[in-house]
Structure 1
Amino acid sequence: MAAAELAHLAVSGAEIAVRVTPKASRNLVVQAEDGLRVYVTVVPEDGKANAAVAKLLAKALGVAKGRLVLIRGATSRDKVFRLD
């Protein structure tokens, strides 16, 4: 997705649920019928995948990555971010 394609979701205080696929062939954010799916190329170790997801999601939302806070799912594929 191009930058800010999900700008309509960028509401302060909103909780954004995503399904993450690490070790994908490319970095991508897809809005599917069942929610947002984020594909990242990095491996899920030492928080690298979480950082990549936050960066990619922030770009898609058109906000600074510092505004996204991971509130659930640090070690799970299903994650919830809050936009502060």
Structure 2
Amino acid sequence: MAKTQLNVRVDEGTARVARERALARGMSVNRYIEELVRQDAGETGRTFVEAAADFMKQYESVFAEEFAEAHGTTGRNP
């Protein structure tokens, strides 16, 4: 995979923590940051899907009733 250089500016405290965390994990700061971004991207997607599923579960009956009213049915099984 081709690599792209990305320059970022952070305060010295953040830079120090990034170096310490990378060292503790036995990896470069570049690799550490790259993994954080990948984790965040995956976590965001997973969090969204879980939240959407919870929402649908919580309001399933409301949607069923609204859909039934809009289509002139009772929304209940006979």
**Fold in common (TM above 0.5):** no
More strand, by proportion: 1
TM-score (norm 1): 0.27
TM-score (norm 2): 0.28
